[in-house]
Structure 1
Amino acid sequence: MVVRVKTRVWVDKDGQEIIGPGIYNILKALEETGSIASAARKLGYSYKFIWTYIKKLEDVLGVPLVESRRGGKERGVSELTEVGKLLLSYYENMNKEVEQVVRAWEGKFTELLSHLDQYVSKPSREEEEIPYYEEE
């Protein structure tokens, strides 16, 4: 028997999403690839989608998350700001803690479900007579 507790974690501010699985993946891909275009290709999104998503989040937070530099051999570089890196780090740490709680509860539910037979009511030797009810 395999028991799984499923969760999705995101953080919002005044009803606006700050970070969840989607923006985490975008920021992580940007950190790994060093460019918005490469992150977009890696995730299968358009450049405009990624750029718009990041700009919307920057507007909500009021601080930049990405710094971009044009030109050069590498055709430009985009890097996460300190706040962008902190968002990734906090989200990763929060998810690790949530995962520990999830594993503990999976164990508790596994234990409960493996002993459900003790909660099955035993049939009595005499069958209970069901009273006859007639509608008026």
Structure 2
Amino acid sequence: MSKTTSSIIKLEGLSKPRGKRWDHLELLERIDASGSISAAATAMGMSYKAAWQAVESVNNLSHEPLVIRQPGGSTGGGTCLTEYGRRVVATYRRLEQEWAAVPATIGRTMDDFDQYYTMSRRFDMQTSARNQFLGTVTAVKKGAVNAEVTLDIGNGAKLAAIITNDSADHLALEVGSEAYALVKAQWIILTVETNFRTSARNSLTGTVVRCQEGAVNAEVVIELPGGKTVASIITNESVKVLGLKEGVQATALIKASHIILAVPA
């Protein structure tokens, strides 16, 4: 199986709309056609923020970025798909056509297929965690009760999670296996200091690409080297004190106990 096809299979749950969820695949196609995430969002009737959240989610669950920002200039900059992103979209559309014929084929040989297919869809993972990273397990260190599991999420970035030994066994985590790291945005602490000591096991440093203030809190999105992003919810006052704005370097601090691990079914 090629790397592109493997990534598409992992992204399948994000690419199809369910209920009011947006079709991420159509969004990628519109970005590719217009060169603008704003234009793509408008055409789909979704907000600019929702479009960026969708793009960030897809990038975080891919081995390589599918969408990148283009720097400003005489054309004002924009957003575009990478060559890898275009291959993913093209291959997924082909797989979508092939997959459409599968239920009908199975249905001809299995009378109660619809019942079991509906039940199987209930196991698809949906989560409220704003940050979702796909990674490869590089270490599993077990103690008396808990285990420290380290994930490589790409471009040298790693996350360490503390879970129980029972959970590690239940998820069958071992070096080389793939797992998802889920982190709620409210659990992430931000700093702009370069010299600091902290009890947080994980630190991810990058550049602020979005800082949107609300009535009380703000969402701050940091882009890491390689294109993955991490989102944090902090108070508006903290944004002012830290001087957070687009282009500022910042570090996201995450306690190992605040990371939830999950594996593909």
Asked which structure has the greater CA Rg, the reply is 1
Q: Please list the CA deviations of residues 69-97 of structure 1 after superposition, one character each: whole Å capped at 9, or x if unmatched.
A: 23234322211012211121111111232
Is 1:17 the counterpart of 2:18? The answer is no
Q: d(CA) in 1 for partners of 2:14 and 2:64?
A: 12
Q: d(CA) in 1 for partners of 2:102 and 2:13?
A: 23
The structure with more helix, counted as a fraction of residues: 1
In structure 1, the partner of 2:34 is: 33
Q: May I ask how many residue pairs the two structures share in their alignment?
A: 96
Q: Measured at CA, do residues 19 and 89 of structure 1 come closer, stay the same or move farther in structure 2, by a change above 3 Å?
A: same
In structure 2, the partner of 1:116 is: none
Q: d(CA) in 2 for partners of 1:55 and 1:83?
A: 16
Instruction: Give the drift of 1:41.
Output: 0.6
Q: Measured at CA, do residues 20 and 90 of structure 1 come closer, stay the same or move farther in structure 2, by a change above 3 Å?
A: farther
Instruction: Give the drift of 1:23.
Output: 1.0
In structure 2, the partner of 1:52 is: 53
Q: d(CA) in 1 for partners of 2:45 and 2:73?
A: 26
Instruction: Give the drift of 1:59.
Output: 1.2
TM-score computed with the length of structure 2 as normaliser: 0.31
Q: Which runs of 5+ in 1 are unaligned?
A: 1-9, 109-136
Equivalent pair of 1:12/1:19 in contact (CA under 8 Å): no
Q: Measured at CA, do residues 66 and 35 of structure 1 come closer, stay the same or move farther in structure 2, by a change above 3 Å?
A: same
Is 1:93 the counterpart of 2:94? The answer is yes
RMSD of Structure 2 on Structure 1 (CA)? 2.9
Q: Percent identity?
A: 26
Q: Please list the CA deviations of residues 36-82 of structure 1 after superposition, one character each: whole Å capped at 9, or x if unmatched.
A: 00101110111111111111111122421112223234322211012
The residue type equivalent to 1:43 in the other structure is M
The structure with more strand, counted as a fraction of residues: 2
Q: Which runs of 5+ in 2 are unaligned?
A: 1-7, 18-22, 109-265
The residue type equivalent to 2:70 in the other structure is R
In structure 2, the partner of 1:80 is: 81
TM-score computed with the length of structure 1 as normaliser: 0.57
